[in-house]
Structures are given as structure tokens and as C-alpha cells.
Structure 1
Amino acid sequence: MRFALIHNARSRKNLRSGSRFAQAAQRMLGENFIPSDSRTETTSHVRQLYERGITTIAIDGGDGTVSTALTAIARAYPADKLPDIAVLPSGNSNLIAGDVGFGLRGIEALDRLNKGAMRSSMRTPIRLSWPDTDRESVLGLFGGCTGFARAVRIAHSPNVIRFAPHDLALATTLISTCAKLLFRSSRASWLDGDRLRIETKDHVYDGQSFMFLLTGLDCLSNGIWPFWDAEPNIVGLRYLDVSANPGNLTRATMALLRGRAPRWLRRHPDYLSGRTGDMTLETQSDFVLDGEVFEPSASGRIHVQQAHAFRFLHA
């Protein structure tokens, strides 16, 4: 199998293991060994992979590296010729790899890719764009805004991330939110949320949001699953919006942290979950996609839609 590797030398596990794997991979793959740089530079490298006929790309890094790579691939490859993807979990946050990871790292992963004949699964990433701006769209698989964006900023602070296990990024973020609710000085502002207008093909919601989440994944780490299908016949990206000052918040949080959505929660007006292929948001909150924080545009409008599906390989 001819394949390429996008390698993030700055990811946590790669920093710990040193440069030996990168040197060996570069000897093995030659010009098909690609350092993970900015989205613009990675796109330039990936465009060359397309021109060389590369049909499988391994991504060695965390969620941010996967987002950068998928964005570059979507810009460089035609939609009907997207390469197969193998995610080698090496980052501070490996939420994506927990669902669609290759299962191996290092030279062992490259040797397995050389053999071919692997299992696979399809996932449809989120395409995030900002109407009325010149920002280029980006791809990712897990994101959110309002309270989630606030919590991510806390979780990314040096005092937290230094002690947080790399595979507990989502749990750490949610715990950061809960911690803010314990203190009277911050409880009211967090529970009051941020204004969020949600518009889908069939619905419009406008109000204050405590937390908004969105994903193209089928499972999250540690059994957490804060989504359910309110309309079983609808397909698309999964989302959850929790209204400001939500009722039964502790009870709801405990259920969703265990991947459960009991009937009372599905019927509760403060918790809205569903699926959509196209959604417009309007908010002055940051939006976080795979750990990267994007500031709002002047209009506050965000367009979210399904990107073309990718095939992820598993060893």
C-alpha cells in the first residue's frame, strides 16, 4: 500500500518518545512524510500527495492535528476521491481516536498499513464556516460553544492541562464547568449562559444557552454520550443545547456522563438534542472545534454542515 504520514512532532506522546520514530518514518516514506504545520502549509503538502496518487494518509497527533489534516485533505482532494484515514493517537486530546483510531502507533502502525486489508468505518466531519467573512472553512469532529467554550479555555490553561491526563480532555472540560457552578461568584454568570440562536431546516430556537455541543463521532471517551435522537428518522451531525438555568442539571449531568438519556430528560424543555445536516448559529460566544478556539465574527453567525464522509481504517 502506498501511503503518507502527517506527523505532529509537537504532540505530547511524540515529544515524550523523541525523534527516533520520525526519523525512521521519514526514511521509510521519503517525500510522503509530511510535518504537520499550519493549515495553509499542510494543504500545500497534501496537494502534492494527491498529485502523486496517494490514497491512504495516516495522521500522527491529537484531535487538533486530525482537524488540520482533514481540513487540508478536503481542500486538496476532490470530494469523490478522498483518501482513507488512519488516526495514530499521539496528542494531548485523543477524543477522535477513541472512536475511529487506527489502534496502533509508531513503526508498528506503519508496518500494519503496509500489509493492507483492514477494517474500516465511515464518519462525517463537521464543516465550520463564517458567513459574510473571508475565513476559510475548517473541518473537525467535535465542537461546541457557550459554556463549553468557556470551559475549554479553563481546561487549556497551563495550571490545568499540566495535571490533566491526555485522554481525559473532555471529562476535564466538563469538570471545569461543574467547578464553576460550585462558587457563588461564578455560578450565576455561567448558569445565565450566552445568547444563542439555532436555525435548522425544520426548527428555530432563540434564547440563552448554558452549553451547546456538536459531533460527527459515534462515541466519546469514558462512556460519555450527551446526545440522543429526538427524531429517529433524521440523520446528520448530533447536537445538544442546554438552556440557561436548566432544571435538574445535576441529575441530567450524571445521566449523560454515563451515556444515558432517560425519558424524563428527552422530554425536558431545557435539554434539546437532535441531528441535522445543516445548521446556522448566531452567538457572540467562541466556538471550539477539536480543541481549537475560534473567536466569533462581527455578525456572530456560524454555519455548520456535514462535510463529505471519510473512511477511517482500523488495524
Structure 2
Amino acid sequence: MARTRIALLSNPKSTGNLAQLPRIRAFCAEHPDIFHYEVEKADQVGSALETIARVRPKMLIINGGDGTVQAALTELYNGGHFGTEPPPVAVLPSGKTNLIALDLGSQGDPIIALEKLMEIAQADLSPHIVARELIALRCGAGEQMPVIGMFLGGAGLADTMLYCREKIYPLGLPNGVSHAITALAMLAQLLLRLKASFLPPNPSLVAVSWRNSQSLSGRFSLLAVTTLDKVLMSGELAGRKRGALKLLAIEERPASMLRAFFATLAGKLGHSKMRGVHFEQSDEISIEGESSKVILDGETFRAEIGRPIFLKLANPLSFVRIAA
């Protein structure tokens, strides 16, 4: 029996798929070498991958937002559905946020991205394969099964992301407009020190620790831990050290945010020390706070005093980058 070239895992509930999924279904109907499996909830991803593993795909494409990708990566890492050789993962530009898709060169129309991935699957994949380290998150030291992702936001960044998700997205505005409004609200809260129910809350106190007992504590407008090269405004972080989590923390001061902003524009973020802007690399990081929220690729967790969030570098997986 001929091997299925591509398996496509779709989440119809992903916001970006509400409009695009009918086109994707029609496309898959015209291409029988695509094995298309749809899930509606994250807890269905495990059984979906168990079924997909039976068709031995050459490539696994995930069609959903970063939360869908995170659920799939967690199952790939913990579930063992593909044995020791899971297929390389590609990501379509779907959902409200697409940091992982952007990192893999997947932008614009998902159908065009799917067509490009089909072309890639017809030949040797190796020119397009990239290894990406992953973040393994555990809430407290005793939890054994980690959640796997690639980008974590905490402190003020998590508050702003939740503000956008809970108060701006329900307005039904285009993504770009929603993100612009969120950015303006964040700036109003930071620069003008305004406090109102229609603005993001002030960041709470957070303590971050990493290798050799180094630590940092305070209120941060932005706290991010990632394995991705691109984070703020698609800017690349310095220090592409393999085998390390990248920690970026920007203190809750207008001057600190401005320094980070201009450093990002100049492509210098993380290259040199700046007052109020902290960039570190480590294979283990812990975050502790007074009921401080963190978001790993769309899923929210809570760091408590005495029960910190533990982040550890996980073994890399292979991904398919559209631009070789």
C-alpha cells in the first residue's frame, strides 16, 4: 500500500479556521494523498495522533492556532504514538496567534501554505527540516507529565494576552485591529499609569530563577521564555545558543520598554546589557509569584508562592520550514 504523504490535523474551533476550513476540506477532497483528521477539543488530540500514526505519514501538518500546536506537541512528546521516530511537523497559519507558524516561514493563505508543503513532501524533506528545542512545563515539582510548547508569556505580557483574548477578541474585530487596540491599552496603562476595568491590570510581583541560583524579581511589563528565534514584533533575539531556553524580562518602566522597542527595531535585542531589560539563557527556569499567570502557547497556568512553574529544555523535534 502506498504511504500517505501527508497527515493534516485540524481544529475546526480555531478562530482562523471558521472561515478557512471549508476551503481546506475541499482541497483535501481533491487530494486523496492527504489524510485529514479533525478534532474539536484538545483532549481528542491523543486519539487523533494514535489514528494518524497508523497511516505512517511522511509529514504531520497542524491546522490551528498555537494552542492546537501545543496540544499536538505535548502528545507527540508524551504519547509515544509514533515510537522513536515521529514525523516532522509543519504548521499552517491559522488561529488568532501564529508565532510558531511564523517561525517556520508559514504565513498568509493557509491553502497556499498547504500547496507548498505538498510540493515539499513530493521530494526529499531534508533541505526543509529544522530542529526546534521545546519547553517542558510542570506546575510544581511533583507533576510528572510535562506540557510541551515553544513560547511562554508571563507577568504583564500574560495579562495583556488574556485582556486581548477576553475583552478585545469578543468584539469581532480583525486580528490586526484587535492587536492594535490591545497595544494602545497596554501603553496607556504603562505610560499614563491609568487604572480602569477596560485596561489591562498592573503586573503582579514575580520571581524568576535560573542556573547557578541566579534570580530576578520585580514587576515586569513583559516576561517571555521561548525556544523560538523570533518573538517581539518578529524581531530576532540574540544568543542563538543551542540547548538553551531564552528568557526576556522587561521591567515595568516606560524607559525600559522604549529601550527594548528600539533595540528590537535595530535587531540588537539581547546583544548587550540595557538598564531594565534582562536577557538570559538557561536549560532550566522557574517562575514564582502571587497567583501570577503564565501562558504557554495559548494555555494558561498559574504560578503560586511555594508552587512555582518549572520550565526545562525538552528534547528537540523535527519541523518543516517552508523556506529552505
Among candidates 273, 280, 289, match of residue 274 of structure 1: 280
Answer whether contact 2:103 2:228 (CA < 8 A) is retained: yes
Answer whether contact 2:288 2:303 (CA < 8 A) is retained: no
TM-aligned CA deviation for residue 298 of structure 1: 7.0
Aligned to 1:71: 74
Aligned to 2:244: 236
Aligned to 2:162: 153
Aligned counterparts of 2:273 and 2:287: Cα–Cα separation in 1:
23
TM-aligned CA deviation for residue 310 of structure 1: 1.9
State the AA in 1 paired with 2:208. Answer: I
Aligned counterparts of 1:138 and 1:33: Cα–Cα separation in 2:
25
1:241-260 deviation per Cα after TM superposition (whole angstroms, max 9, x unaligned): 223x4472253143144154
Structure 1 position 309 matched with structure 2 position 316? yes
Structure 1 position 57 matched with structure 2 position 60? yes
Aligned counterparts of 1:89 and 1:261: Cα–Cα separation in 2:
27
State the AA in 1 paired with 2:279. Answer: S
Aligned counterparts of 2:241 and 2:287: Cα–Cα separation in 1:
23
Answer whether contact 2:294 2:303 (CA < 8 A) is retained: yes
Answer whether contact 2:288 2:305 (CA < 8 A) is retained: no
Answer whether contact 1:95 1:221 (CA < 8 A) is retained: no
User: Alignment partner of 2:272: what SS?
Assistant: helix
1:138-171 deviation per Cα after TM superposition (whole angstroms, max 9, x unaligned): 1221112111111111111343564664368877
Q: Which runs of 5+ in 2 are unaligned?
A: none
Q: Which deviates more from structure 2 when the two are superposed, residues 79-88 or residues 157-166?
A: 157-166
User: Alignment partner of 1:194: what SS?
Assistant: coil
Q: What is the number of equivalent residue pairs in this alignment?
A: 309
Aligned counterparts of 2:130 and 2:40: Cα–Cα separation in 1:
27
Among candidates 199, 217, 240, match of residue 207 of structure 1: 217
Q: Which deviates more from structure 2 when the two are superposed, residues 102-111 or residues 62-71?
A: 102-111
Structure 1 position 166 matched with structure 2 position 175? yes
Aligned counterparts of 1:168 and 1:236: Cα–Cα separation in 2:
34
Among candidates 120, 126, 146, match of residue 137 of structure 1: 146
Aligned counterparts of 1:175 and 1:141: Cα–Cα separation in 2:
26
User: Alignment partner of 1:179: what SS?
Assistant: helix
User: Alignment partner of 2:311: what SS?
Assistant: strand
- The percent of aligned pairs where both chains have the same amino acid is 21
Among candidates 112, 116, 119, match of residue 112 of structure 1: 119
Pairing 1:96-107 to 2, within 5 Å after superposition = 96-102=100-106, 105-106=110-111
State the AA in 1 paired with 2:100. Answer: I
Among candidates 208, 211, 216, match of residue 198 of structure 1: 208
TM-aligned CA deviation for residue 113 of structure 1: 4.9
Q: Which runs of 5+ in 1 are unaligned?
A: none
Aligned counterparts of 1:28 and 1:217: Cα–Cα separation in 2:
32
Q: TM-score, normalised by structure 1?
A: 0.81
1:195-220 deviation per Cα after TM superposition (whole angstroms, max 9, x unaligned): 32222222421421313111111124
Answer whether contact 1:181 1:190 (CA < 8 A) is retained: no
Q: Which deviates more from structure 2 when the two are superposed, residues 100-109 or residues 302-311?
A: 100-109
Question: Could you list the runs of 4 or more consecutive aligned residues of structure 1 that deviate by over 6 angstroms after TM superposition?
Answer: 167-172, 189-192
TM-aligned CA deviation for residue 85 of structure 1: 0.8
User: Alignment partner of 1:308: what SS?
Assistant: strand
CA RMSD of aligned residues (A): 3.5
Q: TM-score, normalised by structure 2?
A: 0.79
User: Alignment partner of 1:186: what SS?
Assistant: coil
Answer whether contact 2:256 2:276 (CA < 8 A) is retained: no
